[in-house]
Amino acid sequence: MNDTTSGILVAEAESGQKLIQWLRRRLDAPQGELHKWIRTGQIRVNGRRAKAFAPVNAGDAIRLPPFCRTLLDTPAAPRPPARPLPPIIAEEPDLLVFNKPAGLPTQSGSGHDDSLAARLAALDPGAAFHPAPVHRLDRDTSGVLLAGRTFAALRALGETLRGREAVKEYVAWVRGRWPWEDLRLLRHALRKEGPAGREKMRAYDWRTPPPGAREALLLARPLKRAERASLLHIRLLTGRTHQIRAQMQAAGFPLVGDGKYGAPVAGQRLLLHAVRLTLPDGRSFACLPAWTPPWALDAPPEPFPPCARPLDAPEAAR
């Protein structure tokens, strides 16, 4: 309903958003103006004044000031053809699971407007709610990526991942022969350092971290070992920026194709792939990387063995 007199009804997929979020998705107007319209009572929920950060629920009627009709009814500028979505691993009522290719950012940013989020939004520009990525993978990292199809699913899944309740598994090729045959714990403190635009995560001893550093934990076990390169199966226990890349560099085994944390090789892409993600309710999603021989995998590795206390694993010597 686009009647600004009686109000626009909140759709089920939008339920749970804060009022200001709902308005930002619906109206092409500066956030400061939206706050002013709420504060002065020009925007009302079910006929009553509302707070900017109060949640709106399915069926609520949002009344907009009359001059907002032009923002709603102005024809949108012609859009270029929608870019294709990455391969879909699974599709559920509240969830889409993609195999994100290397090179595609999760979110749009400075210097690029193409991203998974932008492609999802372009599928149905008039939809009440666009599916949106729940979490991020680095631009050059491929693999399993979740997108919420409703705001409630987006929020619930985001809380699950932030709370470390999900199991995130990766495969990665590293330079050199990995010296351990069994499961190993890598433990560091990571801090972002460097000039703007060229920041890197630097690893420190976790027992004597500098100010601003945050603990980073991962488990690693070898799948293949050779003199020049090794294939590792990795489980993240924390979610830090560039965590796997920074910790592997600190351990002396930079990732193959990592020009930021290792030695770049012309034409070689980063060989890091999110191979499996398992949710607390038991749903598990896996996909293989699009790597070519000799780096290719025939099948996803077996899941990590149950571990009552991951920190009991032997720590990798540094």
- Residue 5 has what pLDDT? 47
- Tens of pLDDT, residue by residue over 154-198, are 989 999 998 888 999 999 999 999 999 999 999 999 999 998 878
Q: Do domains 8-73 and 166-312 have the same CATH topology?
A: no
Where is pLDDT greater, at 202 or 65?
A: 202
Q: Give SS3 for 62.
A: strand
Give residue 261's identity as a one-letter amino acid code: Y
Percent of the chain with pLDDT over 70: 90
Q: Which CATH architecture has domain 88-161?
A: 2-Layer Sandwich (3.30)
- Residue 2 has what pLDDT? 42
Task: Let me know if domain 166-312 sits in CATH 3.30.2350.10.
Answer: yes
Q: Which of 130, 149, 124 is nearest to 22 (CA)?
A: 130
Q: Rounded CA gap, 238 and 225, in Å?
A: 25
CATH level 3 topology of 8-73: 3.10.290
Mean pLDDT (the chain) is 86
Q: Rounded CA gap, 10 and 237, in Å?
A: 38
Mean pLDDT of the region 266-277: 93
The β-bridge partners of 61 are 9
Q: Rounded CA gap, 35 and 233, in Å?
A: 48
Q: Which of 55-59, 93-97, 285-289 has the least mean pLDDT?
A: 55-59
**Is residue 18 over pLDDT 90?**
no
Q: Rounded CA gap, 136 and 130, in Å?
A: 17
**Is residue 6 over pLDDT 70?**
no
Global pTM reads 0.81
CB contact burial 271-294 (16+ within 10 A = b; e otherwise): bbbbbbbbbeeeeebbbbbebeee
Domain regions of the chain by residue span: 8-73, 88-161, 166-312
Residue 3 CA from chain centroid, whole number: 36
* Number of alpha carbons in the 13 Å side-chain half-sphere of residue 89: 22
Mean pLDDT of the region 61-86: 67
Residue 83 in contact with residue 110, Cβ under 8 Å? no
- Tens of pLDDT, residue by residue over 30-63, are 777 788 888 888 888 888 888 877 888 888 888 8
- Tens of pLDDT, residue by residue over 225-256, are 999 999 999 999 999 999 999 999 999 999 99
* Residues acting as catalytic residues: 138
- Residue 82 has what pLDDT? 67
Band the pLDDT of 126: cuts 50, 70, 90: low
